Structure 1
Amino acid sequence: MKNVKIVIGANFGDEGKGLLTDYFCSAFPTREKVLNVRFNGGAQAGHTVVKADGRRHVFSHFGSGSFNENNLTYLSSYFILNPMLFVKEYKVLESKGVVPRVYIHKDCLVTFPGDVMINQMVEAHRDKNRHGSCGVGIYETIKRTSNHQKTTIGYIQENFDQLAKMIAGTIQLYVPQRLDELNTELTDSEWELIRNETITENYIYDLGFMLQHTEIVDNDIIKEYDNIVFEGAQGLLLDADNIEYYPHLTPSNTGIKNAIDILSGVDACDLSICYVTRSYFTRHGAGLFKTECDSTDLKPAGLRDKTNQTNAYQGNFKYGYFDVAAFQHSVEKDLGFLNRTAAVELAVTHLDETDGYLILDSEKLEVADLLKIMNLHAGYTSYGEKAEDIQGTVLCHQYAARHQY
């Protein structure tokens, strides 16, 4: 029977999904292949993994289990490709001793250079009213492929010699229309950048590189592997359908919905779902943040995140108290998409920063107490940034069977 794990961030992202994904991928014997599936979002995800030998990487286009030699990445049809960032990250991983092995679903959407530039330029023109985008063109890719030309990787592979014409047509016909919709007038220098032929030439090289270093497949690839780890991106509170936080959301389903759909062709598997949270909340980007506080309210000396730095599009990395009600509601809502038996688990990270407690607005909460609130029997706790710092590996099959999850 297949062993399947789904890793889901339960908050606004940055919960520790990369850490837990690496931990689960590392748990399989090295002689057994592990398929690490990315099933939402795209290059805007940044999942940090630190290995015992000191190697550190923020995974974006590749599965966070990629430091393990038996790991293969599968970018499912829900993943949005960015060839420019793919090549850059591929070469960085090579320098760290990793030669990624990657499957790409033929229906993956592909970001064009114009998608990224529209995203960044429009955000800059919004000034103080920015949406908090990561600036890599995810939403603009979805809009263009919905309204102009649906460029999937499979289509581009079959029509690679027409790629330059596709991009030129987009710049000529679609970009002006999209900028009108966004009520944005670009400067001459911005238009010059969008029309820059060297950028197009470099992009075509990058896309060719990506095709040469990956294998285009369909969902049947799932059937070929017995060990599968699904790696979610962003968090449940940023789900595209979470209207309470509109419009500062990510344009994808961040919970189990996509993963369960990918598994629809698998008759039986030993499935467990792990919801990940820090011992406090964080948010990078604009939008509602009910429990926002200063990091010194969580730890007297303050906190500093190594991965999430202040940038031009998302702004400052923000901290907040742990919100039990929001956490419980988002997890229970997400489990509504579950249509087969599964164990449900909890993982709490960054406990080394908060003396082993979850930090609420007016009190501290032990992990055991949160497990009781969630009606879970066991979970995982992390007191550091490496897989070796994680404790607790008991699965929750009794809970799953009793509730028919």
Structure 2
Amino acid sequence: MKKVKIVIGANFGDEGKGLLTDYFCSEFPAREKVLNVRFNGGAQAGHTVVKADGRRHVFSHFGSGSFNENNLTYLSRYFILNPMLFVKEYKVLESKGVVPRVYIHKDCLVTFPCDVMINQMAEAHRDKNRHGSCGVGIYETIKRTSNHRKTTIGYIQENFDKLADMIANTIQVYVPKRLDELNTELTDREWELIQNDNITENYIADLGFMLKHTVIADDNIINEYDNIVFEGAQGLLLDADNMEYYPHLTPSHTGLKNAIQILSAVDACDLSLCYVTRSYFTRHGAGLFKTECDRTNIKPEGLRDKTNQTNAYQGSFRYGYFDMAAFRHSVEKDLGFLNRRAGVELAVTHLDETDGFLITDSEKFEVADLLKIMNLNTCYSSYGEKAEDIQCSVL
């Protein structure tokens, strides 16, 4: 029977999904291949994996289990492709001894350079009213492919010789209308960048590289593997349907919904879900953060995140107390999409920073207490940044 694990972030992202994905992928015997499925989001993900030999990588376009030689990545139909970032990351991984093996669903949307530039330029023009976007064009890709032309990777592969014309038409016809919608007036320099032929030529070369180094597939690929790890991006509180936090959300379903749909063709499997949280909350980007506090309130000497640095689009990394009400509500709501038998587990990361406790605004409590509150019995507790730092406990 297939063994399937689904890794889901329960907060605002940055919970440790990369760490847990690497851990679960590495638990399978080295002789057995593992399909690592990305079931939402795109290249805005930043999933950090650190191996015992010192290699470190922040995964965006590839499964976080990729350091394991038996791992293959499947970018499902819900993943948004960015050829420019794909090539950049592919070559970085090669330099670290990894040659990624990747399947791409034929219906994946593909980001154009103008999507990225509109995203970044509009955010810059908003100044202090920025939305907190990651700046890689995810929402703009969805918007363009809904209102102008739906450019999937399958369609582009079949019409690759027309790609330059597709991009030129998009710039001439769609971009001015979109900028009007955004009430954004570009400078002459910004327009020159959007219309730059060299950018288009380099982009086409990158897309050709991506096609050459991947295999176009569909969800039937799931049936070819017995070991599957689904890797979510962002977190449940950022789900597109979580209106309490609107408009500062991600334009995708961050929980079970997509993964369960992909699994619909699988009649039977040994399925387990793992909801991941830090021992405190974080958020990168603008928007409601009910338990936000100074990092020294979590740890007197302060906290420092190696992956999430201050940037022009998301601003500073924000810290907050563990929000029990939000955590419990988001997990229980997400389980409403579960339509088959499954085990439910928790994972708590960054416990080494909080002396093994989860930190709320009024008390410290242990992992065992969280399991009792959630009426669950299995938790993976992480006391470091490597898979070897994870301990599994069962009540």
Q: Does 1:20 align with 2:20?
A: yes
Tell me, in whole angstroms, the C-alpha distance in 2 between the residues paired with 1:369 and 1:149.
51
Q: Does 1:390 align with 2:390?
A: yes
Give me the whole-angstrom Cα distance separating, in 2, the residues matched to 1:393 and 1:65: 22
Q: Deviations over 1:72-123 (max 9, x none)?
A: 0000000000000000000000000000000000000000000000000000
Is 1:172 aligned with 2:172? yes
Shift of residue 167 of structure 1? 0.2
TM-score, structure 2 length as denominator? 1.00
1:157 aligned residue: 157
Q: Does 1:193 align with 2:196?
A: no
Q: Secondary structure at the match of 1:372?
A: helix
Q: Is it true that 1:183 corresponds to 2:205 in the alignment?
A: no
Separation in 2, partners of 1:363, 1:379 = 20
Cα deviations by residue, 1:190-217 (Å, 9 ceiling, x for unpaired): 0000000000000000000000000000
- Once the two structures are superposed, what CA deviation does each residue of 1:248-290 show, in whole Å capped at 9, x if it has no partner? 0000000010000000000000000000000000000000000
Aligned to 1:66: 66
| Aligned counterpart, 1:403 | none
Does residue 342 of structure 2 align to residue 330 of structure 1? no
Instruction: Give the aligned residue type for 2:10.
Output: A
Q: Give the match for residue 205 of structure 2.
A: 205
Partner of 2:300: 300
Query: Which residue pairs with 1:372 in the alignment?
Result: 372
| Match runs of 1:22-101 below 5 Å | 22-101=22-101
Q: Is residue 138 of structure 2 the alignment partner of residue 138 of structure 1? A: yes
The one-letter code sitting in structure 2 at the alignment partner of 1:190 is E
Distance 2:6 2:393 in 1: 15
Identity %: 88
Q: CA deviation at 1:344?
A: 0.2
388 and 28 in structure 1: CA distance in 2 versus 1, 3 angstrom threshold = same
* Residue matched to 1:401: none
Following superposition, the deviation at residue 393 of structure 1 comes to 6.1
- Residue 246 of structure 1 aligns with an amino acid whose one-letter code is Y
Cα deviation, 1:22-64, whole Å, max 9, x if unaligned, reads: 0000000000000000000000000000000000000000000
Q: Which residue of 2 aligns with 1:111?
A: 111
5 Å matches for 1:3-18?
3-18=3-18
Instruction: Judge conservation of contact 2:234–2:254 (CA < 8 Å) in 1.
Output: yes
Letter in 2 for 1:49: V
Distance across 1 between alignment mates of 2:24 and 2:255? 18
Amino acid at match of 2:223: K
- CA RMSD for the aligned pairs? 0.7
Q: TM-score, normalised by structure 1?
A: 0.97
| Residue in structure 1 matched with residue 243 of structure 2 by the alignment | 243
Q: What is the distance in 2 between the residues matched to 1:333 and 1:362?
A: 25
AA partner of residue 366 (structure 2): E
Tell me which amino acid in the other structure corresponds to 1:212: K
Q: Distance in 2 between matches of 1:382 and 1:253?
A: 26
Following the alignment from structure 1 to structure 2, what is the Cα–Cα distance between the partners of residues 383 and 54?
17
Q: Secondary structure at the match of 1:150?
A: coil
* Whole-angstrom CA distance in 1 between matches of 2:252 and 2:115: 17
CA distance in 2, matches of 1:357, 1:147: 48
Q: Cα distance, 1:378 vs. partner? A: 1.5
Supply the distance in 2 between the matched residues of 1:315 and 1:372 (Cα, whole angstroms): 36
Distance in 2, matches of 1:152 and 1:294, equals 43
Residue type at the aligned position of 2:76: S
Letter in 1 for 2:112: F
1-structure distance, mates of 2:173, 2:83: 22
Distance in 1 (alpha carbons) for counterparts of 2:341 and 2:220: 22
CA deviation map 1:149-188 (0-9, x unaligned): 0000000000000000000000000000000000110000
Query: Match of 2:63, SS?
Result: coil
Corresponding residue for 2:318? 318
Please give the alpha-carbon distance, in whole angstroms, between the structure 2 residues aligned to 1:162 and 1:17.
38
Distance 1:393 1:37 in 2: 26
Secondary structure class of the residue paired with 1:392: strand
Q: What pairs up with 1:222-301 in 2 under 5 angstroms? A: 222-301=222-301
* Aligned equivalents of 2:365, 2:6: Cα separation in 1: 26
C-alpha distance in 2 between matches for 1:166 and 1:369: 56
Aligned-partner Cα distance in 1 for 2:178–2:29: 50
Alignment check: 8 A CA contact 2:381 2:393 kept: no
Partner Cα separation in structure 2 for residue 392 and residue 243 of structure 1: 34
**Which residue number corresponds to residue 147 of structure 1?**
147
The alignment covers a number of residue pairs equal to 395
Structure 2: distance between partners of 1:310 and 1:392: 33
Q: Secondary structure at the match of 1:11?
A: coil
Check conservation: 2:349, 2:381, Cα contact below 8 A: yes
